[in-house]
């Protein structure tokens, strides 16, 4: 890094990763320059009138990083901290993320400068609908153009307002439901999307922990059972990551939120912690757990796996030397700064990069979009047929073995796949396959670069080969 004393910004960090990885890909310089840049950057200012009749002006963004595949795709962040560079960085990460998990979209991201928790739902709704209208006017939204989704500070509620606004202004558009993902299931959403990012994190880490030689290098056994886990953030991604890690047999020893952190060496019950925070308004004072004085203390605990699942720039030059985790699973986007990431990798800590590990959300968004375009729920057409065939096989098995199955065995064997089964198995397969690809590049580098660089090398190569197949580039 050029200046050791100055930490790179999130946006600069993404550029730094790109440049680093570019040295290891065989792609024309001009094409690399094209891939790196954000293609379209839209900055908006728009007014809304609040309940008191006061006119308020909001600032918002939509950035489309790459059009090598269409539509472009990425969430909308609702936060007072957003700025153009942050949205550009996040849009770039979306391109690489989609490429890694073979989701055929270009990357995009949106941001609205709003403190939605402290605004009335009426204001958030007006802002969301106005933002959507602005995107429509500028051709920045549509099932084949650009498809937003939830991100930090937004969820199903906002996605419902977006699709409703879009359909109102595009009455009769047959594929209109595919203009946004992360919608409520009753409004064209897909089962499993809400928990998809967290589920993807757990699937990804399960894969990471299945390689004996990698685990031996960091002094761990294979498998997630009994591994100690620290999670930062109890929002959608953090909560579901923690929950699924617990389901895999991990001990979630600490959870941090902005008001503080709690610790119990024997493991916390994730659901109960969530309910406690909902009931009391704070994660602190959870029965049986110790309060940690600062939220950031949780990051520095001794543990097998640290999962930062909040925002960017959480592990920096300031705390990197005190990190004791053996594996860091980046569930958030950009939680480790570029400088800290290099330091940790050199120290032998496995940093599983965000562009891979949190790709479960966009993967299931892709499934939702496919469902919207096909106008049919996954499993609807084949489920009964599958069950009838499975029943025939079960009957045959009973006949051949002379043994009768009990009801549970019969059920397991006969059951046809529901939408949620197909979504989860598609996600599991995607996360496993993508990890194998990244790991191969990483292992083949013979220690030349870390796993993040490997992920960038693979992603850039994939985007580059898409461009090359258009026949424009050498
Ligand atoms: N906001 C999520 C992300 O950063 C999901 C994006 C999407 O589903 O399009 O990956």
Residue 362 CB less than 6 A away from ligand 1? yes
- Chosen domain end from 288, 322, 348: 348
Residue 49 sits in the same domain as residue 182: yes
Is residue 404 part of the annotated active site? The answer reads: no
- Is residue 196 one of the residues assigned to a domain? no
Pocket test for ligand 1, best of 77, 94, 196, 364 (most atoms within 8 A of CB): 94
Tell me the two tokens of residue 322.
Answer: 């005190």
In this prediction, residues 326-354 reach a mean pLDDT of 97
Domain contains 411? no
CA of 359 relative to ligand 1 center, distance in Å: 7
Residues 159 and 230 in one domain: no
230 and 343 part of one domain? yes
Per the domain annotation, does 322 fall within a domain?
A: yes
Q: Is the CB of 199 under 6 A from ligand 1?
A: no
User: Is 385 inside a domain boundary?
Assistant: no
Percentage of the chain beyond pLDDT 70 is 99
Determine the distance separating the centroid of ligand 1 and the alpha carbon of 364, expressed in angstroms: 9
Indicate whether 91 and 227 sit together in one domain.
no
Is residue 394 included in any domain, yes or no?
no
User: Both 259 and 165 in a single domain?
Assistant: no
Atom of ligand 1 nearest to the CA of 364: 8
Q: Are residues 149 and 237 in the same domain?
A: no
Does 76 contact ligand 1 (Cβ within 6 A)?
Answer: no
* Cα 405 to averaged position of ligand 1 atoms, centre (Å): 44
Domain C-terminal end among 286, 319, 348: 348
Phi, psi at residue 228, to the nearest 5°? Answer: -90, 135
The structure's pTM equals: 0.96
Q: What is the pLDDT of residue 6?
A: 79
Q: What is the pLDDT of residues 377-403, one digit of tens each?
A: 999 999 999 999 999 999 999 999 999
With 70 as the cut, is the pLDDT of residue 218 above it? yes
Shared-domain flag, residues 181 and 261: no
pLDDT at 4 over 60: no
Q: Is the CB of 149 under 6 A from ligand 1?
A: yes
* Residue of 109, 183, 326, 383 marked active site: 109
Q: Is the domain of 134 the same as that of 69? A: yes
- 464 in contact with ligand 1, CB cutoff 6 A: no
Number of domains in the chain: 2
Nearest CA residue ID for atom 7, ligand 1: 362
Please report, for the domain that includes residue 143, its CATH number.
Answer: 3.40.50.10860
The yes-or-no verdict on residue 2 having pLDDT over 60 is no
Looking at the fold, whether 262 and 303 belong to one and the same domain comes out as: yes
CATH code, 344? 3.40.50.720
**242 and 286 housed in the same domain:** yes
Give the pLDDT of residue 82. 95
Please provide the average confidence, as pLDDT, over all residues in the chain. Answer: 96
Mutate to test the pocket of ligand 1, among 73, 100, 104, 362 (most ligand atoms within 8 A of CB): 362
393 C-alpha to center of ligand 1: Å?
Answer: 41
Question: Which of 320, 348, 376 marks a domain boundary?
Answer: 348
Q: Residue 5: which pLDDT band, with cuts at 50, 70 and 90?
A: low
Is the residue at 147 inside a domain?
Answer: yes
Is 308 contained in some domain?
yes
Asked if 296 and 240 sit in the same domain, the reply is yes
> Do 70 and 165 fall into the same domain?
yes
Asked whether the predicted pLDDT for residue 431 surpasses 70, the reply is yes
Convert the pLDDT of each residue in 357-378 to its tens digit: 999 999 999 999 999 999 999 9
CA 158 – ligand 1 centroid, Å: 14
d(CA 302, ligand 1 centre) in Å? 30
From 63, 66, 72, 74, mutation site for ligand 1 pocket: most ligand atoms within 8 A of C-beta:
74
Q: Residue 266's domain spans which residues?
A: 219-348
State the pLDDT at residue 1. Answer: 44
- Answer whether residue 143 is part of any domain: yes
Q: Does residue 222 register a pLDDT over 80? A: yes
Atom of ligand 1 nearest to the CA of 147: 9
């Amino acid at each position: 890094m050029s200046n050791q004393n100055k930490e790179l910004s999130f946006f600069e960090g993404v550029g730094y990763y790109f440049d680093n990885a570019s040295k290891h890909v065989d792609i024309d310089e001009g094409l690399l320059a094209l891939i790196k840049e954000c293609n379209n950057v839209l900055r908006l200012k728009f007014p809304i009138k609040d309940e008191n009749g006061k006119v308020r002006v909001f600032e918002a963004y939509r950035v489309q990083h790459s059009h090598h595949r269409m539509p472009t795709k990425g969430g909308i962040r609702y936060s007072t901290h957003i700025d153009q560079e942050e949205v550009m960085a996040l849009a770039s990460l979306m391109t690489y993320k989609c490429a890694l998990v073979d989701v055929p979209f270009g990357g995009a991201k949106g941001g609205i400068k709003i403190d939605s928790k402290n605004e009335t739902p009426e204001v958030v709704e007006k802002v969301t609908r106005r933002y959507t209208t602005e995107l429509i006017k500028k051709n920045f939204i549509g099932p084949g153009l650009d498809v937003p989704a939830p991100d930090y500070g937004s969820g199903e509620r906002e996605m419902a307002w977006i699709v409703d606004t879009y359909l109102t202004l595009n009455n009769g558009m047959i594929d209109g439901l595919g203009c946004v993902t992360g919608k409520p299931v009753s409004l064209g959403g897909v089962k499993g999307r809400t928990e998809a990012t967290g589920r993807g994190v757990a699937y990804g880490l399960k894969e990471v922990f299945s390689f004996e030689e990698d685990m031996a290098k960091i002094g761990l056994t294979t498998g997630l059972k009994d591994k100690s886990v620290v999670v930062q953030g109890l929002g959608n991604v953090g909560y579901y990551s923690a929950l699924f890690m617990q389901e895999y047999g991990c001990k979630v020893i600490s959870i941090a939120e902005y008001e503080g952190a709690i610790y119990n060496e024997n493991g916390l019950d994730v659901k109960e912690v969530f309910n406690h925070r909902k009931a009391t308004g704070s994660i602190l004072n959870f029965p049986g757990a110790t309060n940690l004085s600062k939220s950031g203390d949780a990051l520095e605990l001794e543990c097998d796996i640290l999962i930062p699942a909040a925002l960017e720039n959480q592990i920096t030059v300031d705390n990197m030397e005190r990190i004791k985790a053996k594996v860091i699973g980046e569930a958030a986007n950009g939680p480790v700064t570029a400088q800290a990431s290099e330091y940790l990798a050199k120290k032998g800590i496995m940093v599983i990069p965000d562009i891979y590990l949190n790709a479960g959300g966009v993967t299931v968004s892709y499934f939702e979009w496919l469902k919207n375009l096909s106008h049919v729920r996954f499993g609807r057409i084949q489920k009964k047929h599958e069950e009838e065939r499975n029943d025939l096989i079960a009957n045959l098995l009973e006949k051949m073995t002379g043994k009768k199955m009990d009801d549970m065995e019969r059920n397991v064997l006969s059951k046809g796949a529901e939408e949620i089964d197909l979504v989860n198995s598609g996600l599991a397969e995607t996360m496993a396959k993508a990890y194998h690809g990244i790991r191969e590049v990483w292992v083949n580098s013979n220690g030349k670069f870390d796993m993040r660089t490997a992920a960038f090398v693979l992603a850039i190569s994939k985007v580059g080969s898409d461009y090359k197949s258009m026949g424009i580039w050498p």
